[in-house]
Amino acid sequence: MKLEFRFCISPGPQFYSTIRLAALSLRQLGAPYDSARLRVSVGDYADLDSVQKSNRWSEAFPIDWQMVERDRFAESSYLATHNSRYAASSHADVIILSDSDLCVVRRIDELLDRLSQSGCRKIAGLQAHFSPFINGAQRMKAAAAEAEWRQLFAGALLPAPRLTERYSLDTADVMGRAPAYFNYGLVAFSRDAFAAVAATHEDYCRRAAAITNRSFFTSQIALTLTIAAAELDVERLPHAYNCANDELPFVAPENVRLHSTDEIRAVHFLRNQQLDRRSFLCDRAKYDAFLERPDLNRVNRRLRDHILTLAQHDEPFFGAG
């Protein structure tokens, strides 16, 4: 089993520290996670020598630092950084695209087994938390949001979408239905599915950007279009595989709901209420404050316990590396 993770970041300790946590987390899980290739795309005109000098710790891990081409970054900024994860082909059996503020805390063997089957053309992910369509400060009502999806597909010259999926944190069930539209915290591909998406994703990004006037969610929307165009099989994952660090996964729609912290496979520490996701791993005072905080929510307690377990062998704080 060959496994590969792909991340995209900007240069600096606030991102390097999260990659280090991801790498330490995978190493702790044993094979095949400890040998998984980590391909990290770095934007913002980053220089490879500078990145490597700032991350001597990474020499002990199977990490490839890839610089986003300067002309591409000049043209598309952070969208170029994000899309660079599709730039190189892969010989891995399973490829996982992950946000850097996500760490795997428990083995995901069953998912890897399903995606590594011969001839599999499957993508797996958690439906996005909310609708991407905003009308001023308010999210569109269900009918209008569903109409937006139909217009997007028509504008991209695709058949009308099947709107069957409820957003994964639409607890009041007021946002309507959508096609497969994944939160990019963790999206897993079989080898053939990744190759199919990589071949056309940039084109659908351009189409999505034009249709949505460069929405903040352009890349996520483009993935939805690419999935449909490639006619991929889709597996809907529950919050356990991409668990936001607040209490909302415990009250999510039943089909994706988290019932116990024991179910959590990966923590996505994107919420800043109890930690600063961009600095708590590289600011000693913030790191210590997080570990000592007595009122952490259940998911953040799981993250803290994971960090303390790692610290028995390798201190996750970035300055220690």
Residue extents of the structural domains in the chain? 3-107+238-320
**Amino acid 25: pLDDT:** 98
**Amino acid 137: pLDDT:** 53
Can you give the three-state secondary structure of the chain, one letter per residue?
CCEEEEEEECCCHHHHHHHHHHHHHHHHCCCCHHHCEEEEEECCCCCHHHHHHCCHHHHHCCEEEEECCHHHHHHHCHHHHHHHHHCCCCCCCEEEEECCCEEECCCCHHHHHHHCCCCCCEEEEEECCCCCCEECCEECCHHHHHHHHHHHHHHCCCCCCCCCEECCCCCCCCCCEECCCEEEEEEEEEHHHHHHHHHHHHHHHHHHHHHHCCCCCHHHHHHHHHHHHHCCEEEECCHHHCEECCCHHHHCCHHHCCCCHHHCCEEECCCCCCCCCCCCCCCHHHHHHHHHCCCCCHHHHHHHHHHHHHHCCCCCCHHHC
**Amino acid 141: pLDDT:** 84
Residues of the chain with pLDDT under 50: none
**Amino acid 216: pLDDT:** 85
**Amino acid 321: pLDDT:** 53
**Amino acid 78: pLDDT:** 92
